[in-house]
Amino acid sequence: MAAPEGTLIQSVQRALHLIESVVALDGRANAKELSRAQGLSLSTTYHLLRTLTHEGYLRRLDDGSYVLGPTLTQVAAQDRMAAVLTRARPTMHGLRDELRAPVYLAVYHDGEIAVVEIVDSPKVPSIDLWVGIHDSAHATALGKCILAAMSEADRADYLARHPLHQLTQHTVTDRQRLESEIHLSPRLAHDDEEYAVGVRCVAAPIVTTDLTGAVAVAQRRATPRPTREDHVAAALQRSAARMQRTFALPQAG
């Protein structure tokens, strides 16, 4: 149901339409172009542009033109991530129930690797991430899987910014050895007590045109009747492929 005309705030409408005009004008426009596009006086346009720039929805370049700002980019990224998690959860729940193990989803975004979702249960509790994965990707199956899926340039940049800290006696801290391991296992990555003593983890990559991530399951070595490794690998790869297909589908408008 449309809102009554009296409840609409015209200045907010005009500001939103200015953002739309920046996008329509190939993502970059000056005040005069925006003024003409929206039929506004130049003084009103400048007033709205100053407000939008102050709040980060637009950014003013040195030549006086305007582009989309960091606030708008962050809002779009959060909306995108919410959609990714909504699509991922059903498959993650199924994988948890099949393997009786907690399931983790991590993605590479803005130069960092981060866990964005964990699916566990009282019967299969998650394993605490006592060190943030952004500081320990080299020691986790999730991180190694994503590093393997990156371009050479992105991987070199990431490793240059993140020292290979030793978390356990099994952690790989030699960069050449780490890169060799990554290249040898592009379809599955393993962490055998490299992140935490007594914990083993296996991960499979999820790569689409606009997302680089990985899904993993973790198991404690002391788990009674652990699932066979070949079963874990098959279930993980099957789930990763399903999530990859789901993420690649267009979002409903």
pLDDT of 144-179, one tens digit each? 999 999 999 999 999 999 999 999 999 999 999 999
Judged by DSSP in three states, 89 sits in helix
Residue bearing the bigger pLDDT, 115 or 2: 115
CA-based nearest residue to 172, from 138, 148, 134: 138
Model confidence pLDDT, tens digit, residues 31-58: 999 999 999 999 999 999 999 988 888 8
Q: What is the pLDDT of residue 124?
A: 87
Reported pTM = 0.70
- Winning range, highest mean pLDDT, from 35-49, 57-71, 126-140: 35-49
Model confidence pLDDT, tens digit, residues 8-34: 788 888 988 998 898 888 888 999 999
Residue bearing the bigger pLDDT, 75 or 215: 215
Read off the amino acid at residue 129. L
DSSP 57: S
Angle at 242 between CA 122 and CA 247, to 5 degrees: 100
Instruction: Check: CB of residue 14 under 8 Å from CB of residue 38.
Output: yes
Instruction: Check: CB of residue 56 under 8 Å from CB of residue 68.
Output: no
Q: What is the pLDDT of residue 131?
A: 61
